[in-house]
């Protein structure tokens, strides 16, 4: 079985198209996981991309566009490994809004969490998220 990071990294650089045109690859992530109502690359697609990657790797995934839905997928882990799901809150810890990506590691001072994910700067990329916004890590299970 190929590792989820293999699938995610193969998509690095896929990005939204500014204006009325849409990146069909990004729309395809949603279609492939059964979210037929998504027809543009403007819909937040953090969780959609994660679900697409998990599906490719034959791992469990939520059929949801909400990043925080990943808090209920797989098993929680306090010792994350590269490729585990990492979930963050956005705007407020009490908000429904969040971000999800694949854990890569911590910065030297532990203040940032590096992750590979979709819709980071409107593209599939590696970014550093604030560790203070961390909600949790999840180890995904085979489907």
Whether residue 5 is predicted with pLDDT greater than 90 in this model: the reply is yes
Q: What whole-number percentage of the chain has pLDDT above 90?
A: 97
Residue 122: predicted pLDDT: 97
Task: Quickly list DSSP for 64-120.
Answer: -S-GGGGGGSSEE-SS--TTSEEEEE-S-TTSS-EEEEEEEEE-TTSSEEEEEESSS
Structure confidence at residue 2 as a pLDDT band (50, 70, 90): low
Whether residue 1 is predicted with pLDDT greater than 60 in this model: the reply is no
How much is the pTM? 0.95
Report residue 120 as tokens.
């980071």
Mind listing the pLDDT tens digit for each residue in 33-53? 999 999 999 999 999 999 999
């Amino acid at each position: 079985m190929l590792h989820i990071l293999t699938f995610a990294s193969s998509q690095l650089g896929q990005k939204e198209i500014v204006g009325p045109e849409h990146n069909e690859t990004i729309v395809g992530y949603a279609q492939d996981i059964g979210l037929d109502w998504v027809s543009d690359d403007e819909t937040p697609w953090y969780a959609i991309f994660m679900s697409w990657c998990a599906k490719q790797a034959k791992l469990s995934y939520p059929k949801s566009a909400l990043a925080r839905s990943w808090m209920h997928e797989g098993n929680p882990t306090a010792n994350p490994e590269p490729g585990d799901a990492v979930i963050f809150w956005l705007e407020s810890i009490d908000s429904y809004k969040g971000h999800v990506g694949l854990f890569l590691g911590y910065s030297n001072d532990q203040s940032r969490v590096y992750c590979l994910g979709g819709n980071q700067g409107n593209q599939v990329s590696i970014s550093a998220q604030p560790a203070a916004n961390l909600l949790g890590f999840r180890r995904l299970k085979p489907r």
